[in-house]
Amino acid sequence: MMMMQDNKSDRSFQNIKGNYQRFAPDGGISYSDNQYGEYSRYYDLNYYTTMRAPTIHQLAPLTDSTNLYYLQRGNINLREVVTQEMSFSFSHYDQANKNSLNYNFRISAGVIKDNIVDSLLIDDLNRRTVFLVNADGHKYLNFNGDIRKAYKFKSSELQLSLNGSLNTNKNPGYTNNQFTFSSNLNTYSNASINYTYKAYLAVVLGQSISTYKSKQEAFNTRYSGKNLGTNLSTSYNVTKKLTLNSNISFNNSSSSGAKDINFTIWNASAVYRFLKGNNAELKFSALDLLRQNNSAINYGNANSFTIDYAKRLSTAFKNISYTCADIFDEIKQARNYDVILCTLTLHHFKDDEILNLLSGFRKQAAIGVVINDLHRSRLAYYLFIAVCKVFGLNKMSKDDGLVSILRGFKKNDLINYAEKLNIRKHFLRWRWAFRYQWIIPTI
């Protein structure tokens, strides 16, 4: 595997070129057992070697000199990071029309050579200077699985599901020139019962538990915590136009060195749909009826907040679920979908990554793949600048939008992807505002 890097900047110290090459073997064995009308089973054993080059922000970052208590330093001598991973996955899909049983699991383990880690220096005034260095010894083990059972009755349906995940890893690092390992263990499990009666009633009862443990060997420090959650959601269609929803969750959060936190969140709403085809909706929501939301969050990132917000907006639709996953790991799984939608996402990736994603999407989609992404256009670029001035968008929004337009696609770019992947049947249309709709049938 070979990689070339050529960084150009108006800051001379960021004009850096680099060439990286490593022997990177890959291999895999796949086996499928399709008993039509009964079940499908998929077995996958894979070995991956991936290489990641240090970024310009790691080699020579722009330092915020106004923050005297946290200084980020680069390292021009950083080497490429090499990950070696072995994984095994199994999936069973029941093709029975009723009382189906589906289950799958995946386990993976890997080592990371020359991982880029922090070398943290803390002085007597608690000022922190972070240098980036390469270090060996990063190891990890991941497991996830789920099982789903459905029971169909004359006018109702009962669905049982259980899913869980486990992640353990050992991470190297330096603190005040002392080499240390941090060992981490995270677990999550969730069980739920979903009952529906005709088109009138839906009830979901769920129980979840997550734990975390962390230990830093050199300083003999330990941290642990546990989160418990019990959730009851109901949705009742009083008429075809009026729906009542209720969601109540009981939560317990405990961590070492802190008092337990217990709180109950109860939200309710009434939804009324009107106009032809019920295309308009009026919703009245009552949030935190018990006034116990103290904003207790044990962890959070952009993905977790986004998914939580989406869940709250779609509580009335029990057939919608959300998952946060590594897309490059997800496309390697033995998944089956009817249609895969990819909206304003591809332009964030490099060409080889786009080809990898499209290849994975086509394998998993039974009907087809729908891509909706930006058209790289000079007119769109300058129109967006005008919009920013008219509506007074901040600098971050302006810069992000302009970069996205520059990373968009010309028509020939998408056609070239199709040719490289030997996609003979596809439909490419331009849509307002400066979008390409790309439909790739797989049937």
Q: How far apart are CA 127 and CA 67, in angstroms?
A: 10
Q: How far apart are CA 212 and CA 254, in angstroms?
A: 11
Strands (E), 16-95: 17-21, 27-35, 39-52, 70-72, 81-94
The answer to whether 189 and 167 are in contact (CB under 8 A) is no
CA 392 to chain centre: 31
Q: How far apart are CA 247 and CA 378, in angstroms?
A: 48
- Write the CA distances from 12 to 54, 62, 65, 132, 387, integer angstroms: 18, 12, 18, 20, 33
CA 189 to chain centre: 18
Q: For residue 249, which of 304, 194, 287 has the smallest C-alpha distance?
A: 287
What are residue 338's phi and psi, to 5 degrees?
-75, -60
Strands (E), 198-275: 201-216, 221-237, 242-255, 261-274
CA 225 to chain centre: 23
Is the pLDDT score of 300 beyond 50? Answer: no
pLDDT digits (tens, 9 = 90+) for 20-60: 888 889 999 999 998 888 899 999 999 999 999 999 989 99
Is the pLDDT score of 299 beyond 60? Answer: no
Domains and CATH numbers, the chain: 1-136 (no CATH), 336-443 (3.40.50.150)
DSSP β-ladder status, 242-255 and 178-197:
unpaired
Bridge partner list, 373: 436
Q: Which residue has better confidence, 99 or 190?
A: 190
Is the pLDDT score of 147 beyond 80? Answer: yes
Is the pLDDT score of 120 beyond 80? Answer: yes
- Among the listed ranges 21-25, 127-131, 181-185, 289-293, which one has the minimum average pLDDT value? 289-293
What DSSP element (H or E) covers 317? none
Q: How far apart are CA 40 and CA 132, in angstroms?
A: 47
The answer to whether 182 and 148 are in contact (CB under 8 A) is no
What are residue 156's phi and psi, to 5 degrees?
-150, 170
